[in-house]
Amino acid sequence: MDHPQAQTVAEFKARIEHYLTQTALPDKAAISAKAYLKATCMAINDVIHHRLHETVQRHQTAQSRSINYLSLEYLMGRMLSNNLHNLDCFAVAAEALQALGVELTDLFEEGHDLALGNGGLGRLAACYLDSMATLELDAMGYGIHYQHGLFEQQFHHGRQIETPDEWREYGSPWEVCRPEAEQEVFLYGHVEIDTGEQGKVTKTWHPGQIIRGVPWDVPVVGYRGKTVNTLRLWESRASSHFDWVAFNEGNYQSAHIAKNQAETISKVLYPNDDTAAGKELRFIQQYFFCACSINDILARFQERFGDDWSQFPSQVVIQLNDTHPTLAIVELMRVFIDQHQWAWHDAWEMCQQVFAYTNHTLLPEALETWSVDLFQRVLPRHLEIVYEINEWFLNQVVNQQWPGDVAKRRALSLIAETPEKSVRMAHLCVVTAYRVNGVAAIHSELVKSDLFPEFHQLWPSKLVNVTNGITPRRWLKVCNPKLSELLDQHIVGDWALDLTQLAQLKSLADDASFQQKFMAVKRHNKQCLAQTIWQQCQIRVDPDALFDVQIKRLHEYKRQHLNLLHIMALYWRILNEPDFTMHPRVFIFGAKAAPGYYLAKEIIYAINCVAETINNDARVKGLIKVVFLPNYRVSLAEKIIPAADLSEQISTAGKEASGTGNMKLALNGALTIGTMDGANIEIAEEVGRENIFIFGLNVEQIKQLNNEHYEPWHYYHQDSLLRHVLDSFLSDQFTPGRPGELSAIRDSLLEAGDPYRVLADFQSYCVEQQRVNDTFCNSARWAKMAILNTASMGKFNSDRSINDYQRLIWSQIPQKKTLQQWSQAS
């Protein structure tokens, strides 16, 4: 076991056998798949940890700015297959296991997803870790070691049931505990103000509770395996000191309560992907995470540079993934001021040089605020610092620009006065960060024009765009081996590194023999998915049908119900129009709803009811099947995406910041039906308007409609097909014997003002869907378009996104004080 680089089949086999002695008992016939899986993971961990050590050493001597990516969420998915591919030992491992009588791909299914996130934002963080390691950047991901990640979803009589995710039930082979990097976090208590001899005011925080933060490191293997970075996840534990005080006093009960309280902090991921009402535990979770991460960043800096703080801005950048880790700013201020006794303005200048912030949403209800009361109770010292930053901002910045303008002060203040006095986290981020970015071109423009127009006026070069991307390793090479093999045969160079090389396919788009090969791969993938659908849902689907896919979190703005209305309309036409015909289609959904999101859950129920009715109606003659695959997650996405013909990206224009599923599906040869929203716009630009199905109102038209007064009944009265469909929600057509059970959806569309303009886009959506159908009937035409979609996705490589971050943000070191002045300051 001396040479962890060893890559021959025989050596790999020996390594697995060695670890089997730890993961299995000697009865060979009874060795479980789980034991083989664990032994295989341990075998490649030898290689991974060796490379991790090399990487750390390389980065230590490189003196480059290290990137700290702070995110409350990481959706890593399964790790084995991805790690094997990135280390280029997939074939070796497969052969070694074969020699042991085990099928490697069977082992994959035993692996648990790391589901420490909700959706797009969490998966983006995972793609970026992959790209940062691939580009050999000195980057560390920080997150929370949730005991339970995103809930597992089941359907009971069509309704979503949540059960806890147990990703560590049997331990995870990928994580390593690092007790030497443990942190202490303080909460509650009060602040004491002392005026010293020269009138110098010092503030001392006397906390009421101490929590331990224990780091678990997950290695992140870059493509080709040279760089292995770290994702550091914090687990909360009771301070042992606290436990023993109570215990020794004979108060066993309260010792346990303290322990449980502390461990609750990292117990569970909040399953909302829009900001819900400010819950104390979520606030504490955010602070716990920020305090651990900031103090770890400082410890790692001081290990290398001691107290030479002049180096800090050139050596450290902290990227905030949305506002969830905003408290990191305030914590860094507090440590500099209270722990290091810096002057307030020195601490503030430093913070303004190291933080950058990514915005992922324009939805007003999703902009985080925390009540001042809660803030005061949990983090009294931090609240003072927020007030001080606000004072600086309002007096030194706002008042300079707009002297005496009270309305501006109110609008821009870090503190909102109504409906409740609260801290606006996004404002704190924008005021502090030296760069703020949106996640797609249109989104970044809307951030400037609609979300933060005054901030944009104050600091015109602060707001930039970095269009999201996806890693072509997981989202093509790993999940679609058949297509990867075909690409390898026809593309010169490594497309998995330089995805723009896929453009070489463009010259083959008209080639009948290549079209045939490309579509044969698709057909194979559809067959595999058909099997999964049979196993999961006991529904038979025809691989020659058009596979129409909408996979994403369930949200009104994403408009799964628009898709549903179209399905119901087709069903109505099949039953009522004797001449109606269409190419057979399978509508495939995957979506989790936040447990407290009533209408989202009603939409899931409605889709399942409509599916049940249509799938069992012989009159449909198999023209339509509707499949809602339960428990949508990364590993299920990896099965659905390679098999998709059509990608549904149908959000209300202006609402989806970017979307990333749109990129994954197009990369795997699905055509998009979508609105001019988020990254769809850039996808359309890349593939050309003739290779995408665009429908509906654009952002300008939606704004205009809103100004004019929107009247959903207008569409109801004007369109008889829409009327039939909406009225069927009142009948028992899809809920036999229980009429009106689905009426909440109809009510939201007609009585509650249809906030996401579903009815306004319905007709145009149906027209475009008809074009999809007609195009699919011309299989050569469809094949050409599909090939051109794959060929045109080069831009959406997350390596390109990370290079953009590097160029526009991380390599920019704002100059404030001179280096000499910094040395004096400390």
Q: Map the footprint of ligand 26Q across residues 363-422, applying CB under 6 A.
A: 366, 368
Residue nearest to ligand 26Q (CB): 120
Instruction: Tell me the three-class secondary structure of 570-608, residue by residue.
Output: HHHHHHHCCCCCCCCEEEEEECCCCCCCHHHHHHHHHHH
> In the complex with ligand 26Q, which residue's Cβ is closer, 169 or 365?
365
Q: Which of 118, 295, 615, 649 binds ligand 26Q (CB under 6 A)?
A: 118
| 656 contributes a contact to ligand 26Q by CB under 6 A | yes
Least distance (Å) between residue 806 CB and ligand 26Q? 18
Q: Map the footprint of ligand 26Q across residues 785-814, applying CB under 6 A.
A: none
Alpha helices in 371-511 (DSSP H): 372-378, 380-392, 399-401, 406-412, 425-432, 441-446, 453-458, 481-490
Q: Tokens in use for 647?
A: 């990608």
> In the complex with ligand 26Q, which residue's Cβ is closer, 225 or 659?
659
Using DSSP's 3-state secondary structure scheme, residue 96 falls into helix
Part in contact with ligand 26Q (CB under 6 A); list of ranges 169-177, 198-206, 254-262, 275-283: 275-283
Least distance (Å) between residue 661 CB and ligand 26Q? 8
Work out the angle at residue 747's Cα, subtended by the Cα atoms of residues 745 and 751, and round it to the nearest 5 degrees.
145
Least distance (Å) between residue 778 CB and ligand 26Q? 32
Does 558 qualify as catalytic in the annotation?
Answer: yes
Part in contact with ligand 26Q (CB under 6 A); list of ranges 45-53, 83-91, 189-197, 270-278: 270-278
Q: Which of 215, 313, 590, 659 binds ligand 26Q (CB under 6 A)?
A: 659
Q: Which of 77, 119, 141, 669 binds ligand 26Q (CB under 6 A)?
A: 119
Q: Tokens in use for 175?
A: 């994580």
Does 807 qualify as catalytic in the annotation?
Answer: no
| 325 contributes a contact to ligand 26Q by CB under 6 A | no
Options 633, 664, 784, 800, the catalytic residue:
664
Task: Name the residue with tokens 């831009």.
Answer: 795
> In the complex with ligand 26Q, which residue's Cβ is closer, 283 or 715?
283
Paired with 69 in beta bridges are 141, 319
Q: Which of 324, 522, 566, 757 binds ligand 26Q (CB under 6 A)?
A: 324
| 445 contributes a contact to ligand 26Q by CB under 6 A | no
> In the complex with ligand 26Q, which residue's Cβ is closer, 138 or 368?
368
| CB neighbour burial string for 260-296, b if at least 16 within 10 angstroms, e if fewer | ebbeebbbbbbbbbebeebeeebbbbbbbbbbbbbbb
Q: Map the footprint of ligand 26Q across residues 449-488, applying CB under 6 A.
A: 468
Options 552, 559, 633, 639, the catalytic residue:
552
Burial class (CB in 10 A: 0-12, 13-18, 19+), 526: buried
Options 59, 360, 559, 746, the catalytic residue:
360
| 120 contributes a contact to ligand 26Q by CB under 6 A | yes
The DSSP 8-state label assigned to residue 792 in this structure reads T
Part in contact with ligand 26Q (CB under 6 A); list of ranges 269-277, 393-401, 524-532, 772-780: 269-277
Q: What share of the chain is helix, strand, coil (3-state, %, to 5)?
A: 55, 15, 30
Using DSSP's 3-state secondary structure scheme, residue 519 falls into helix
Part in contact with ligand 26Q (CB under 6 A); list of ranges 99-107, 117-125, 222-230, 768-776: 117-125
Part in contact with ligand 26Q (CB under 6 A); list of ranges 208-216, 381-389, 651-659, 774-782: 651-659
Least distance (Å) between residue 360 CB and ligand 26Q? 4
Alpha helices in 491-597 (DSSP H): 512-537, 560-576
Options 660, 672, 675, 790, the catalytic residue:
660
CB 147 within 8 A of CB 267: yes
Work out the angle at residue 94's Cα, subtended by the Cα atoms of residues 93 and 98, and round it to the nearest 5 degrees.
115
| 276 contributes a contact to ligand 26Q by CB under 6 A | yes
> In the complex with ligand 26Q, which residue's Cβ is closer, 596 or 740?
596
- Cα separations (Å) of 22 from 44, 175, 287, 657? 15, 17, 39, 48
What is the distance in angstroms between the CA of the first residue and the CA of the last residue of the chain?
Answer: 48
Rounded Cα distance, 337 and 342, in Å: 5
Does 203 qualify as catalytic in the annotation?
Answer: no
Least distance (Å) between residue 284 CB and ligand 26Q? 12
Is there a cis peptide before residue 419, judged by omega within 30 degrees of 0? yes
Please compute, for residue 148, the number of CA atoms within 13 A of its CA located in the half-sphere on the CB side. Answer: 14
Options 59, 462, 522, 553, the catalytic residue:
553
Rounded Cα distance, 807 and 497, in Å: 18
Residue type, 209: Q
Q: Which of 275, 326, 369, 467 binds ligand 26Q (CB under 6 A)?
A: 275
Site string for ligand 26Q, 41-60 (x = CB under 6 A): --------------------
Q: Name the nearest CA neighbour of 600 among 270, 362, 271.
A: 271
Task: Name the residue with tokens 């994954």.
Answer: 664
CB atoms closer than 10 angstroms to residue 417: 10
Least distance (Å) between residue 465 CB and ligand 26Q? 12
> In the complex with ligand 26Q, which residue's Cβ is closer, 222 or 659?
659
Part in contact with ligand 26Q (CB under 6 A); list of ranges 92-100, 141-149, 230-238, 360-368: 360-368
> In the complex with ligand 26Q, which residue's Cβ is closer, 69 or 90?
69
> In the complex with ligand 26Q, which residue's Cβ is closer, 286 or 631?
286
Rounded Cα distance, 551 and 542, in Å: 20
Site string for ligand 26Q, 660-689 (x = CB under 6 A): x-----------------x-----------
Least distance (Å) between residue 402 CB and ligand 26Q? 31
CB 764 within 8 A of CB 696: yes
Q: Which of 78, 148, 212, 282 binds ligand 26Q (CB under 6 A)?
A: 282
Q: Name the nearest CA neighbour of 786 among 674, 647, 651.
A: 647
Part in contact with ligand 26Q (CB under 6 A); list of ranges 53-61, 113-121, 158-166, 398-406: 113-121
- Cα separations (Å) of 98 from 43, 101, 108, 478? 15, 5, 14, 19
Rounded Cα distance, 37 and 212, in Å: 32
Does 655 qualify as catalytic in the annotation?
Answer: no
Binders of ligand 26Q: how many residues, by CB under 6 A?
A: 25
CB 179 within 8 A of CB 214: yes
| 648 contributes a contact to ligand 26Q by CB under 6 A | no
Q: Which of 650, 657, 665, 676 binds ligand 26Q (CB under 6 A)?
A: 657
* Strand ranges across the sheet with 369-371: 369-371, 422-424, 415-416
| 162 contributes a contact to ligand 26Q by CB under 6 A | no
Part in contact with ligand 26Q (CB under 6 A); list of ranges 172-180, 271-279, 741-749, 772-780: 271-279
Does 735 qualify as catalytic in the annotation?
Answer: no
**Pairing of β 415-416 and β 228-238:** unpaired
**Pairing of β 66-70 and β 139-144:** parallel
Least distance (Å) between residue 162 CB and ligand 26Q? 16
Does 526 qualify as catalytic in the annotation?
Answer: no
CB atoms closer than 10 angstroms to residue 823: 14
Residues lying near ligand 26Q in the complex (CB under 6 A): 118-121, 124, 270, 272-276, 282, 324, 360-361, 366, 368, 439, 468, 656-660, 678
Q: Indicate which residues carry an active-site annotation.
A: 360, 552-553, 558, 660, 664
